Chain A
Amino acid sequence: MKILVCISKTPDTTAKISFTDNDTKFNESGVQFIINPYDEWYALVRAIELKEKDPSTIIHLVHVGPAENDAIIRKALALGGDEAFRINSHPGDDYYVAGQIVNLAKEQHYDLIFTGKETIDYNGSSVGGMIAEFLELPYISLATKFELNGNTATITREIEGGEEVDEAALPIVVSCQKGMAEQRIPNMRGIMSARTKPLKAIEPVAIDPLTSISSFELPAPKQGVKMIPADNPEELVRLLHEEAKVF
């Protein structure tokens, strides 16, 4: 069993969101970066759990990004994983990132490719589906549970107002979200061993991104809250009905 886990780097969830260069660039000053929570908590940890059950499992990590992101990859390796690949380039767009990962996957022949549900910065939710289409593999999106029985995976995925239980033969691509695994904290041994695990930088293949971000904006600030005394909740209902017209 050979698993690929896609790792992305995002600003910390409490980071102040602001922009520079005429609102064309995210302002990184003072911002802490983390492994995208969906990639770490669900995709990577579920892969590690599968390896704990079947120690012959090999876990590869892949990240598309510049050398300065090696620290994030080492953090992921501290949780688990045998080997990491960094595709040495700036992630142009989702299509570009997926194409680079596919290039690695075509050489390595994975049984399972895990991504997070989405990145918490771009919120695209698209790299997993794109990889699946490039490789003509089944794609189980927004999975909340994953079980393996030989060559067959049983996956629960979220659908509107509920869930669906699917069955598919490997190889497959799965995007992971809450429910897949429990968040873990790396231990000292993990952190030490991460330093010596192989992390290979590979050069990207030529792919033209299909989209580009031209500018960012922040939402208009709220007008300010209207407070209603606790002994007059009827007034709140009247305002919601007559002023905000929400029902």
Chain B
Amino acid sequence: MSVLVFLDQAEGHVKKSSFEAASFAAKIAEQTGTEANGIVLGEVKDDLQSLGKYGIKKIYHAADAQLNQFDDEIYTALIADTVKSSGSNVVVLSNNFNGKAIAPRLSVRLKSGLISGAVGLPDTSNGFKVKKSVFSGKAFANVEIKTDIKIITLNANAFKVTEGSGTATIENITTQIPRRKVNVREVNVVKGEVPLAEAELVVSGGRGLKGPENWGIVTDLAKALGAATACSRPVSDSGWRPHHEHVGQTGLTIAPNMYFAIGISGAIQHLAGVNRSKTIVVINKDPEAPFFKAADYGIVGDAFEVVPKITEAVKKLKGQK
């Protein structure tokens, strides 16, 4: 019995969401009196032993260049084999793009129940139940897994990374790698930007900004804060911002530490994607904007006047430190 966490890497570096997943897995192991191990696929530049500080005892590593590029079918095969050979009974993945592609496959391959989008630790007092986000962030469900092996994907920013002092041992896995059926032709990643799904701080703009030429006030504030940028649906529908910035019921669901909304009315479909953010700030010139009801801090005012001043104040405060 043990917990196995899939540690996702991109370009040789383990992702931040995987540190959350590792901390979460270690806590489940502690809860159930077993140990947590990790699996890394592909060549990495990071020191994998140091992942022990998140409570991981052993890392199974398949350092094969053929695995550097993600493939859900191949990754599933290797993870499933490792689950079996290590006798793991809980499998943890991040509920990110890769996790969403692998977890359902694993569920079928291992004939084991899956809970996607967990927001907290399992309740093992009577069976095995995990709280997950449902209705696009408007509610939670406590879901029970009935099979011996349990598969959980963890929502971003739902569990705090905890660091200790351990060192992980590395066990190399060498294995036959199945044939790739999907050929990756192109990968286009915007470099140097904080990926929205994992971001701790998000600055977002709505139709109140009037047009793409005015986005400077959003990106300036985001840059000063080290935040990712997002937008409401009509903004991406009009092509003012790229599709991947669209948050809400039909876009990305996010739960950053702070969501800073500028010129967004706060329609129910928009709120569905952001209302799990820890702190919500709303800047809107309409005091009746529904977003204020979901906010922690608000300013009624013209974004074009207020936001540059906020950016200045952030820069000043950061510069002083």
Q: Does A124 contact B (CB under 8 A)?
A: yes
State in angstroms the CA–CA spacing of A79 and B12 once bound together: 45
Contact at A234–B139, with CB atoms within 8 Å?
A: no
Residues of A within 8 A of B136 (CB): 120-121, 123
Contact A138 B115 (CB under 8 A): no
Known contacts A211-B146, A233-B306: A240-B72 contact under CB 8 Å:
no
- CB pair B301 A227 closer than 8 Å: no
How far is the CB of A31 from the nearest CB of chain B, in Å? 11
Find chain B residues with CB under 8 A from A161 CB.
189-190, 193, 195-196, 244
The answer on a CB contact under 8 Å between B116 and A123 is yes
Please measure, in the bound complex, the distance between the C-alpha atom of A95 and the C-alpha atom of B282, giving whole angstroms: 40
Interface residue B100 (Cβ < 8 Å from any Cβ of A): yes
Per-position binary interface string of chain B over residues 42-68, scored 1 when its CB falls under 8 Å from any chain A CB and 0 otherwise: 000000000000000000000000000
Residues of A within 8 A of B143 (CB): 211-214
B contact residues around A134 at 8 Å (CB) = 108
Roughly how many angstroms separate A124 CA and B130 CA in the complex, as a whole number?
14
Could you tell me how many residues of chain B have their Cβ less than 8 Å away from some Cβ of chain A?
99
A244 to B313, CA, bound (A): 16
Judging by beta carbons under 8 Å apart, are A95 and B107 in contact? yes
A-facing residues in B264-321 (Cβ within 8 Å): 268-269, 272, 275-276, 278-282, 292-302, 305-306, 309-310, 313-314, 317-318
Q: Are the C-beta atoms of B138 and A17 separated by less than 8 Å? A: yes
Interface size on A, residues (CB 8 A): 78
Chain A contacts with B in 187-239, Cβ cutoff 8 A: 209-219, 222-223, 225-230, 233-234, 236-239
What B residues does A225 contact at CB under 8 A? 282, 292-293, 295-298
State which of B108, B138, B244, B292 has its C-beta within 8 Å of the C-beta of A163: B244
How far does the alpha carbon of A127 sit from the alpha carbon of B101 in the complex, in Å? 10
Q: Is A38 touching B184 in the complex (CB atoms < 8 A)?
A: no
Q: Which residue of B lies closest to A102 (CB)?
A: B108
Interface string of B110-153 (1 = CB under 8 A from A): 01111111000000000001011111101111111111000000
A129 closest partner in B (C-beta):
B104
Asked if B112 and A213 sit within 8 Å, CB to CB, the answer is no
In the complex with contacts A124-B116, A166-B183, A228-B298, A158-B145 CB distance below 8 A:
no
User: Are B313 and A237 neighbours in the complex by a CB distance under 8 Å?
Assistant: yes
B41 within 8 A of A: no
User: Is A65 in contact with chain B by the CB < 8 A criterion?
Assistant: no
Instruction: Give A124-143 as 1s and 0s: 1 = Cβ < 8 Å from B's Cβ atoms.
Output: 11111110111000111110
Stretch at the interface among B23-31, B83-91, B248-256: B248-256
Taking CB atoms and an 8 Å cut-off, the chain A residues in 65-101 that contact chain B are 93-95, 98
Cβ-neighbour of B141 out of A216, A219, A233 (below 8 A): A216
With A13-B272, A219-B139, A237-B317: A123-B253 Cβ-Cβ less than 8 Å? yes
Contact, CB under 8 Å: B309 / A234: yes
Across-interface contacts of A148 in B (CB, < 8 A): none
Name the contact of B135 in the complex, choosing from A17, A95, A139, A209 (C-beta under 8 A). Answer: A17
Contact partners of A164 in chain B: CB under 8 A:
184, 186-188
B225 CB–A CB distance under 8 Å: yes
Complex: chain A residue closest to B186, CB-CB: A165
- B182:A230 contact, CB within 8 angstroms: no
Q: Residues of B contacting A139 with CB < 8 Å?
A: 72-73, 101, 105
Say yes or no: A246-B279 contact (C-beta < 8 A), given A126-B104, A160-B96. Answer: yes
User: Which A residues are in CB contact (< 8 Å) with B226?
Assistant: 247
Which residue on chain B has the smallest CB distance to residue A121? B135
Does any Cβ of B come within 8 Å of A162's Cβ?
yes
B40 adjacent to chain A (CB < 8 Å)? no
Across the interface, which residues of A come within 8 angstroms of B154, CB to CB? none
A145 to chain B, nearest CB (A): 10
Q: Across the two chains, which residue of chain A brings its CB closest to B280?
A: A222
Residue B223 at the chain A interface, CB threshold 8 Å? no
Scan residues 149-189 of chain A and give those whose CB is less than 8 A from a CB of chain B. Answer: 154, 157-169, 178-179
A165 neighbours in B (Cβ, 8 Å): 184-188
Point out the residues of chain B lying under 8 angstroms from A109, CB to CB: none
At the interface, yes or no: A8 with Cβ under 8 Å from chain B? no
Of the residues A14, A126, A240, contact of B281 by C-beta under 8 Å: A240
Check A240–B279 contact: CB distance below 8 A: yes
- Residues on B with C-beta less than 8 A from A214 are 129, 142-144
8 tightest A-B contacts by CB? A129-B104, A230-B301, A210-B113, A162-B189, A126-B104, A161-B195, A133-B108, A237-B313
Jot down 6 A-B pairs with beta carbons below 8 A, ordered by A: A133-B108, A160-B198, A169-B181, A227-B299, A246-B257, A246-B258
**Residues on A facing B (Cβ under 8 Å):** 11, 13-14, 17, 19, 37-38, 41, 93-95, 98, 120-130, 132-134, 138-142, 144, 154, 157-169, 178-179, 209-219, 222-223, 225-230, 233-234, 236-241, 244, 246-247
